[in-house]
Amino acid sequence: MGFNLTQTWVESRQSIVLLAFSEKVTTVSAPLKGPGGSTINGYPVPMKGRVTGLYVYDGTSVQQTSEVLDLSAGDIVSLSAVFAGGTFRVNLIVNGTTTSLGVSNNLANTDLLASLVMKLVED
């Protein structure tokens, strides 16, 4: 197995960032409140990076995704809980557009707590 110095150098420049979101949900779709408890259109990403995980706790279990999504500096990220078929799917929204990155099978009538994990690359 070879040692890739370029990959090691790039990975050493990545900072791990976690944004926490939450919302008390019933049976109606709703945006999740982000850091500071604000329901806004999203939070700016300060530099390019990649979403590496989304974890959602519904009071009973943790659902997660291993999908990744690249971000650009200045992108605006938020999360939304969409009610369908008796459960919620928590979706990542980037620049006002729902992405394919999301977590399904979250319970209704509970507090949804979500962690969005990103690796940002310093220029």
How many C-beta atoms lie closer than 10 Å to residue 108's C-beta? 15
Q: What angle is formed at CA 86 by the lines to CA 89 and CA 88, rounded to 5 degrees?
A: 15
pLDDT, tens digit, 9 for 90 and up, residues 5-64: 666 666 666 688 899 999 999 999 999 998 888 777 889 999 999 999 999 999 999 999
Map out the domains of the chain as residue ranges. 5-121
Gap between the terminal Cα atoms of the chain: 29
pTM of the model: 0.86
